[in-house]
Chains A and B, each alone.
Chain A
Amino acid sequence: MSDASRRSNLPPLALHVPEPKFRPGDAVDFAEVSVPPVDAARRPDTADAAAGFHDLAFGLVRVLDLDGTAGGQWDPRISPDLKRQMLRNMALTRAFDERMFRAQRQGKTSFYMKSLGEEAVSVGAAAALASDDMCFPSYRQQGILISRGCPLTDMMNQIYSNRGDKLQGKQLPIMYSEKGFGFFSISGNLTTQYPQAVGWAMASAAKGDTRIAATWCGEGSTAEGDFHSACTFASVYRAPVIFNVVNNQWAISSFSGFAGAESTTFAARAIGYGIAGLRVDGNDVLAVYAATLWAAERARTNAGPTLIEHFTYRAEGHSTSDDPSQYRSAGEPTAWPLGDPIVRLRDHLIATGEWDMDRHAEMDRELAEQVKAAQKEAEKNGILGHGLHQPLDSLFDGVFEEMPWHLREQQAQMVAEEEASGRPWARK
């Protein structure tokens, strides 16, 4: 111990370990979550210097009010058709999640992760980006693939690791790779995609291209070193990239305080890097759309990167392997003051006379049928656990472009082992 007598007039040091407000069994009151009015946030010019974004990094860009009206400087004033399209994509994402979550519970696959409550973050962004802009997602942006028209059956084939799986059963479910839809291969390693997105954007700029990159991570993984490296690189080279931080309050069981949220916002991280920072209501798809469109224009005009914090709530468990009732109050998802992104857009469209509850119910029925039909189609290719669906020797494909001798030897050994084993799949 140190010599305490010299500092005897000071209390002993105390280590601060963050603690979330509500634990299992606690009554939830989110009164401290500030929800500013929709006209509170100004919309700066996309060429403005990053140094002036302090208010936007600590404020909240909103368009849709909780009563269904839209307004403020960020209102993108888009057509009802586009709004209905986004509503449909969010609802389809939710229907897909629901069905695949159930498929995991039925033992048809090993794993799934829902994006319940966060559908606006990916659907709004996908609507604002050009279809050939490159996305470097984390594992909870399935709404991008759905918005870009990726066939649901292809996604399910990947989830089932079946014979229709383009990734040959090599990847954990939901770790999609869809180059044709501008969707970069998902990695299990958090935030590695951040510097990769910057590199892609730098390459596009170096080649005089017009395409930009966008990347996503959760608030928890902003703590990774890759986040810092990516922000530094993006700022230094003014890379045409959009950083999205999906602040859904939870990183598995750790609340956002463990990523630093007690002291600042995630959008405010941008300030120190010289990057434009926007904090956006992540359950407001029009705000997400408007902020992404703004950031895309900034990137496309060589004005530099933008960091968007999407303030939202992870309404479901982290994954099918997680039980949130063990670490947070069951009351949180319904008490979340920013509501549900689908309900909010639905109510807005109804309030403006562009939608009604019957059409909504009909859409939900139709989407459930669409997902069900896609699932039926995918299951024709098999489900996980009902035999190995890929050719045995494909296990060695793609380690290198050409298979070196040591892999050829191991491949021959494995095939011989399986043939001798009498295991059912070896006879196929």
Chain B
Amino acid sequence: MNMIQAINSAMDVLMDRDPDIVVMGEDVGYFGGVFRATAGLQAKYGKTRVFDTPITEIGIIGVSIGMGAYGLRPVPEIQFADYIYPALDQLVSEAARLRYRSAGEFTAPITVRSPYGGGIFGGQTHSQSPEGIFTHVSGIKTVIPSTPYDAKGLLIAAIEDNDPVLFLEPKRIYNGPFNGHWDRPASNWSAHPAGEVPTGYYRVELGKAKIVRPGNDLTILAYGTMVHVVLASVEEAGVDAEVIDLRTLVPLDIETIEASVKKTGRCMIVHEATRTGGFGAELSALVQERCFHHLEAPIERVTGFDTPYPHSLEWAYFPGPVRIGQALAKIMKD
């Protein structure tokens, strides 16, 4: 399966098991979603479980919270993460706080799916990586898969989770892994081991990172598309890096990170999102606090620049193999 099919399969498998799961969003019903992630679900489960919504992100999330309060388990889609901002108040002030402010009387067991990230010439409003806005909010979990296998298993775990989960899907790797070499032919998931996805039910637990490449020279923390870019960059640089795919940003798998950095003595953080106030800053602070005496070099952050996401200058903006390679050379020299 590619990642879209895996995401579709996760919803299909769970909707079949739990009649309280509903899927909603702009164009998700009859049409099956602008990325086809919900294709076939309305025909199979009916219009009261899979339906199109008006174009209002406030409404999509607000209505989902109300459905959750009733006892349903909504899986709303925000068509692009760039368009999640109108719903920020509902997510930050309501979904994330409902359990806390009602001392558990009401909860918001919603999973907000949203395609995110760049590398597709999406320009300013089809490329953003807003995860840092949400990792800053107490009460919401943030999950980002990097393979079809994880996408399905993590989405199942997210939907079954009783807390609100933001499930960001790296749209650049919907159809195949992307190593950052935009000028080379694209590959697809059928040639990748993680494209092997069971058709039935399985979970990939939230809060657990995955070491995708064991190594001894340094630790690289990444998620989403950047996992694949990092893997390619490491091979090209000939560095024995330990690459960790975080998979869940909140709650974070600190044990895996800490053990790795204490072993390697160096840490690099790579994300597409802009640098200042990005999630990399939190990762850097945590590693510094917990691994200070093991560090042999300053922690390196390779991120998007602090600018809006550009259109024509995309490959100068995107943290690709060239920038990562230079950062690798620097951190290994320190």
Whether A226 lies near B58 (C-beta < 8 A) is yes
Among A167, A401, A405, the residue within 8 A (CB) of B163 is A401
B168: min CB distance to chain A, Å: 18
- Of A32-40, A115-123, A168-176, A315-323, the one contacting chain B is A168-176
Whether B62 lies near A406 (C-beta < 8 A) is no
A295: min CB distance to chain B, Å: 18
The residues of A that contact B172 with a CB separation of less than 8 Å are: none
Q: Give bound CA distance, A202 to B59, whole Å.
A: 12
A206 within 8 A of B: yes
The residues of B that contact A175 with a CB separation of less than 8 Å are: 101
Q: Give bound CA distance, A372 to B296, whole Å.
A: 68
Q: Give bound CA distance, A366 to B296, whole Å.
A: 76
The residues of B that contact A397 with a CB separation of less than 8 Å are: 103
> Which A residue sits closest to B61, measured CB to CB?
A195
Whether B62 lies near A203 (C-beta < 8 A) is no
Among B66, B72, B99, B103, the residue within 8 A (CB) of A198 is B66
B49-84 interface with A by 8 A CB criterion: 49, 53-54, 56, 58-59, 61-72, 74
A136: min CB distance to chain B, Å: 8
A288 within 8 A of B: no
A167, A177, A195, A236, most chain B CB atoms within 10 A = A195
| Cβ contacts B133-171/A at 8 Å (1 or 0 each) | 000001101000000000000000000011100000000
Whether B89 lies near A189 (C-beta < 8 A) is yes
The residues of A that contact B66 with a CB separation of less than 8 Å are: 136, 195-203, 213
Whether B102 lies near A233 (C-beta < 8 A) is no
Among A179, A195, A406, the residue within 8 A (CB) of B59 is A195
> Which A residue sits closest to B252, measured CB to CB?
A406
The residues of A that contact B56 with a CB separation of less than 8 Å are: 225, 228-229, 232-233
B240 within 8 A of A: no
B254: min CB distance to chain A, Å: 6
Whether A202 lies near B63 (C-beta < 8 A) is yes
B308 within 8 A of A: no
| Cβ contacts B93-130/A at 8 Å (1 or 0 each) | 11001111111111100000000000000000000000
> Which A residue sits closest to B48, measured CB to CB?
A206
A166 within 8 A of B: yes
Among B86, B99, B139, the residue within 8 A (CB) of A225 is B86
Whether B106 lies near A230 (C-beta < 8 A) is no
Q: Give bound CA distance, A171 to B102, whole Å.
A: 8
The residues of A that contact B48 with a CB separation of less than 8 Å are: 205-206
Q: Give bound CA distance, A200 to B254, whole Å.
A: 38
B59: min CB distance to chain A, Å: 3
Among B62, B69, B102, B254, the residue within 8 A (CB) of A226 is B62
> Which B residue sits closest to A233, measured CB to CB?
B59
Whether A204 lies near B70 (C-beta < 8 A) is yes
A185 within 8 A of B: yes
> Which B residue sits closest to A167, measured CB to CB?
B103
The residues of B that contact A255 with a CB separation of less than 8 Å are: none
Tell me the interface secondary structure of chain B in the complex.
mixed
B189: min CB distance to chain A, Å: 31
Q: Give bound CA distance, A302 to B322, whole Å.
A: 61
B53, B56, B139, most chain A CB atoms within 10 A = B56
Among A167, A179, A192, the residue within 8 A (CB) of B62 is A192
> Which B residue sits closest to A185, measured CB to CB?
B102
The residues of B that contact A226 with a CB separation of less than 8 Å are: 58-59, 62, 89-90
Whether B105 lies near A179 (C-beta < 8 A) is yes
The residues of A that contact B89 with a CB separation of less than 8 Å are: 189, 192, 226
Among A196, A205, A232, the residue within 8 A (CB) of B65 is A196
The residues of A that contact B68 with a CB separation of less than 8 Å are: 199
Q: Give bound CA distance, A337 to B40, whole Å.
A: 59
A186: min CB distance to chain B, Å: 8
B133: min CB distance to chain A, Å: 17
> Which B residue sits closest to A171, measured CB to CB?
B101
A398 within 8 A of B: yes
B259: min CB distance to chain A, Å: 14
Q: Give bound CA distance, A41 to B53, whole Å.
A: 36
Whether A229 lies near B94 (C-beta < 8 A) is no
Q: Tally A residues with Cβ within 8 Å of B.
A: 48
The residues of B that contact A400 with a CB separation of less than 8 Å are: 99, 139, 141, 163, 251
B22 within 8 A of A: yes
The residues of A that contact B103 with a CB separation of less than 8 Å are: 166-168, 170, 177, 397-398
Given the contacts A177-B106, A203-B70, A399 and B138 also touching, CB distance less than 8 Å = yes
Among B54, B104, B252, the residue within 8 A (CB) of A236 is B54
Q: Give bound CA distance, A199 to B56, whole Å.
A: 14
A104 within 8 A of B: no
B207 within 8 A of A: yes
The residues of A that contact B93 with a CB separation of less than 8 Å are: 187-189, 192
A422 within 8 A of B: no
A73: min CB distance to chain B, Å: 33
B252-291 interface with A by 8 A CB criterion: 252, 254
Given the contacts A196-B66, A199-B65, A167 and B22 also touching, CB distance less than 8 Å = no
> Which A residue sits closest to B93, measured CB to CB?
A189
Among A184, A206, A233, A405, the residue within 8 A (CB) of B106 is A184
Q: Give bound CA distance, A194 to B94, whole Å.
A: 12
Q: Give bound CA distance, A178 to B62, whole Å.
A: 20
A404 within 8 A of B: yes
Whether A196 lies near B94 (C-beta < 8 A) is yes
A204-240 interface with B by 8 A CB criterion: 204-207, 213, 225-226, 228-230, 232-233, 236
A154: min CB distance to chain B, Å: 12
Q: Give bound CA distance, A390 to B161, whole Å.
A: 28
> Which A residue sits closest to B253, measured CB to CB?
A405
Q: Give bound CA distance, A280 to B68, whole Å.
A: 32
Among B102, B207, B252, the residue within 8 A (CB) of A177 is B102
> Which B residue sits closest to A241, measured CB to CB?
B66
Given the contacts A199-B70, A206-B48, A229-B58, A401 and B63 also touching, CB distance less than 8 Å = no
> Which A residue sits closest to B141, measured CB to CB?
A400
Q: Give bound CA distance, A195 to B103, whole Å.
A: 22
| Cβ contacts B236-262/A at 8 Å (1 or 0 each) | 000000000000001110100000000
Whether B106 lies near A195 (C-beta < 8 A) is no
A136-188 interface with B by 8 A CB criterion: 136, 166-168, 170-171, 175, 177-179, 184-185, 187-188
Interface pairs (8), CB distance under 8 Å:
A177-B102, A203-B67, A205-B48, A226-B62, A400-B139, A401-B99, A405-B254, A406-B254
Known: A134-B69, A206-B22. 11 other contacts (CB 8 A): A187-B93, A197-B66, A199-B70, A200-B66, A202-B67, A229-B58, A233-B56, A398-B99, A400-B141, A401-B107, A404-B251
When A and B form their complex, which 7 residue pairs have the shortest distance between CB atoms, in order from nearest?
A199-B66, A195-B62, A229-B59, A404-B251, A199-B63, A196-B66, A203-B70
